[in-house]
Amino acid sequence: MFSFLIGVIVFVLWFIPILAISISDRTQGGEKAAWILAVIFVSWFAWIFYLLLAPLKSQRYV
């Protein structure tokens, strides 16, 4: 039972950056998908880069 609880906690901690990027308004579309994939494969380092660098392209307001 204890190992299951640890597994759930690890999964929730792993899922927090994915959820944060998916509900963020900083990026859209393909760039958001790329950041989510980066978090899945590179982990928390990608989320730190997201917080520091996103959006990669400046958005033009019309």
pLDDT in tens, 3-17: 999 999 999 988 999
How far is the CA of 48 from the CAs of 2, 6, 18, 21, 42, in angstroms?
Answer: 30, 24, 12, 11, 11
Does the pTM of the predicted model rise above 0.85? no
pLDDT digits (tens, 9 = 90+) for 16-29: 999 999 999 888 88
Please, which residues have CB within 8 angstroms of residue 14's CB and are 6 or more apart in sequence? 43
